[in-house]
């Protein structure tokens, strides 16, 4: 009986360790390829940390990462605990109302919500501010994201 109890405890601990690893925040750049581009000066980073409320949840546009051909938006959604999963569309507009197409991305579910990365067409070099529009069914959030703050580029 002791052996069975210890085996059950060990199995439960393994599941808890796996859940703890999954709940740990992801890397700053979401994946190793993008991190290498930043490290090798093949990408520039603009720290944003702009927050907005989205149906009671907190959406944070964390940073924009520009490479030679794409623009990446790193975001975080902290859930208020009501349990809906986030299925939204992301649109990015500049001051001239030009839309930058979103063509892929990814997200990791966490205990507290989710973290994700959305890939857009490359922003033009002259763009000083963009508007991020996040829509999910009948809910909508608009965030103005300044791109020309001194000291934000890394």
Give the class (CATH, top level) of 27-146. Answer: mainly beta
For residue 153, the number of C-alpha atoms closer than 13 Å in the C-beta half-sphere is 11
The predicted structure's pLDDT at residue 107: 66
Q: Domain limits of the chain?
A: 27-146
Give the span between the Cα atoms of 32 and 50, in whole angstroms.
24
- Blockwise average pLDDT, block size 10, the chain, 154 residues: 86 78 60 85 91 85 92 86 68 90 72 82 88 85 81 45
What is the model's pTM? Answer: 0.76
Residue 154 tokens, joined: 């890394």
Give the span between the Cα atoms of 46 and 23, in whole angstroms.
26
H helices of the chain, in order, are: 2-23, 32-39
For residue 45, the number of C-alpha atoms closer than 13 Å in the C-beta half-sphere is 18
The predicted structure's pLDDT at residue 31: 76
pLDDT for 60-95, tens place per residue?
Answer: 999 999 999 999 999 888 877 665 566 678 899 998
The predicted structure's pLDDT at residue 138: 79
Give the span between the Cα atoms of 19 and 111, in whole angstroms.
9
84: left (phi over 0), alpha (psi -120 to 50) or beta: beta
- If one counts every other C-beta atom within 10 angstroms of the C-beta of residue 72, the result is 21
């Amino acid at each position: 009986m002791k052996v069975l109890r210890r085996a059950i405890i060990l199995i439960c601990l393994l599941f808890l360790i796996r859940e703890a690893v999954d709940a740990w925040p992801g890397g700053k750049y979401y994946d190793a390829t993008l991190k290498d581009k930043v490290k090798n000066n093949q990408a520039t980073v603009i720290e944003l940390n702009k927050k907005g409320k989205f149906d009671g949840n907190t959406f944070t546009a964390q940073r924009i990462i520009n490479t030679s051909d794409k623009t990446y938006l790193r975001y975080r959604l902290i859930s208020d605990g009501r349990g809906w999963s986030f299925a939204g569309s992301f649109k990015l507009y500049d001051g001239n109302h030009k839309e930058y197409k979103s063509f892929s991305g990814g997200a990791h579910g966490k205990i507290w919500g989710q973290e994700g990365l959305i890939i857009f067409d490359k922003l033009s070099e002259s763009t000083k501010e963009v508007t991020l529009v996040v829509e999910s069914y009948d809910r909508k959030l608009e965030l103005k994201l300044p791109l020309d703050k001194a000291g934000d580029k890394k």
